[in-house]
Amino acid sequence: MMQRNLQIVARMSALAVGFLMLGAVVSAHHSAAQYAKEATTTRGVVVEYRWRNPHVYVVWEVKGPGETRHWIGELSSVTTMIADGMTKDSLKVGDEIEVVACPSMNPGSTEAWVRTIKRADGTVVVDTTRGACTVRP
């Protein structure tokens, strides 16, 4: 009987360790360490909108003096974006948008974690208050 109880405890312990390790992997996947701590604002035109898991993405073109850059913005999962009021039809290619996002800290990168998206007329497409960066007024 004692040996059987020890086997049960050993199996339960192994299961608990497995769950803890899985939690660490999931947590690492959702790290925001690659993004700056303060958000920036850009204005541009949607050139691509990817409504899929594990993350929704939007690509927008920003024209500046002498250059045009394509920004790639990462959002949360489809389920989370639906909870935030976004749909697969929220953005269309050609939409003029203003994006507040935390840019990647990699030099020269145009990747960012999106906090808010507004249309040119000021209509809010999505406004997430989650995230690692701070939006400064």
* Residues 10 and 75 occupy one common structural domain: no
Residue 48, domain member (yes or no) = yes
Tens of pLDDT, residue by residue over 99-110, are: 999 999 999 899
Residue 88, domain member (yes or no) = yes
Tens of pLDDT, residue by residue over 17-76, are: 444 444 444 444 556 677 888 899 999 999 999 999 999 999 999 998 999 999 999 999
Q: Give residue 24's domain range.
A: 1-31
Other residues' Cβ atoms within 10 Å of the Cβ of residue 86: 21
* Residues 68 and 115 occupy one common structural domain: yes
Q: Regarding predicted confidence, which is higher, 16 or 104?
A: 104
Residue 50, domain member (yes or no) = yes
Residue 133, domain member (yes or no) = no
* Residues 13 and 57 occupy one common structural domain: no
Distance between CA atoms of residues 94 and 36, nearest Å:
28
Residue 96, domain member (yes or no) = yes
Strands (E) in the chain, as ranges, are: 40-50, 57-64, 67-74, 96-103, 111-119, 124-127
Domain count, the chain: 2
- Which of 38, 57, 58 has the alpha carbon at shortest distance from 98? 58
* Residues 73 and 107 occupy one common structural domain: yes
* Residues 114 and 56 occupy one common structural domain: yes
Distance between CA atoms of residues 12 and 77, nearest Å:
32
Residue 70 is part of a domain; what is its CATH number?
A: 2.40.50.140
pTM strictly above 0.85: no
